[in-house]
Amino acid sequence: MVPLKPTFMEGPYVQVPFPLPDRRISDMPIAFLDRDGVINRGKPGYINGPEEVILLPGSAETIAALNQRGYLVCVVTNQSPIARRLWPPERLEPIHKELQRQLTETHPEANIHAFLTCPHRLEDSCMCRKPSPAMLFLGHKILRDGMGHSTGWQPVNHPVIEPQVNWWGPKPTALHPKDLMVGDRGSDMGAGWAYGARLYRVPAALGLISINDGWMNDDDSGEMFQP
Ligand SMILES: [Mg+2]
Ligand SMILES: [Zn+2]
């Protein structure tokens, strides 16, 4: 049987729209954010085009606050409509451009530094779909660990290494103590847990504005989660 493309051999799509901030990037924490139900309004049947992107109130202000406090912002999103062949990966460009446009329009400092998208379905058994932490580790490598990446809106397919996760062991230690993950689902919390991030779960109807203020405190370890 011929597998549908994208196959499990391929990894997530990566977009690094703008040159990275000219600072000591290796020291900067990363805020990993789920997209639908966190930054923009989620919708049954997927966000299928830029006209369906509606920011949740307050998400631009919270992303600006993350930027102002020295965080790199990395979106990590599962978008199986791509593997379902509802639309091609190229459509990530207008959707994410529109998301960033609305963010900037609402707050000029609400920058997203990278968008990482798993295009697969559960049954594709890929290595990147959350709750796999692979997209978070890839975000670390691209944004902070000097892997480098072409800049622009065009989605680039990027193979990943299968992460070694012991779901029954203790929560791993993050690569940076302030790294955090915000999501509205258990799969987001699972990915953040397996990476070692500080975890913040928000209700999908409210999104990022409802993140508790703990994230601003360096000693806050985030919310408890048991995978
Ligand atoms: Mg979500
Ligand atoms: Zn995947």
What domain range is 170 assigned to?
7-216
| Ligand minimally distant from the alpha carbon of residue 117 | 2
When pLDDT is averaged across residues 16-33 and rounded to a whole number, the result is 90
Query: Would residue 145 show up in a list of annotated catalytic residues for this protein?
Result: no
Are 114 and 14 within 8 A, CB to CB? yes
Which of 22, 27, 36, 124 is catalytic? The answer is: 36
Q: Which H helix or E strand runs over 94? A: helix 92-106
**Residue 71 in this model has a pLDDT that exceeds 70:** yes
Ramachandran angles phi, psi of 134, nearest 5°: -60, -40
Domain presence at residue 222: no
Q: What is the DSSP letter of 36?
A: B
Max mean pLDDT among 4-8, 125-129, 146-150, 184-188 falls in 184-188
Domain presence at residue 1: no
Domain presence at residue 151: yes
Q: What's the pLDDT at 9? A: 59
- Nearest by Cα to 100 from 202, 192, 15, 216: 15
CATH number, position 197: 3.40.50.1000
Which of 22, 27, 34, 179 is catalytic? The answer is: 34
Domain presence at residue 57: yes
Structural domain count of the chain: 1
pTM for this prediction:
0.95
- pLDDT, tens digit, 9 for 90 and up, residues 103-131: 999 999 999 999 999 999 999 989 999 99
Percent of the chain past pLDDT 70, that is, above it, reads 96
Query: Would residue 34 show up in a list of annotated catalytic residues for this protein?
Result: yes
Phi-psi region of 85 (alpha: psi -120 to 50; beta: other; left: phi over 0): left
Q: What's the pLDDT at 24? A: 77
**Residue 5 in this model has a pLDDT that exceeds 90:** no
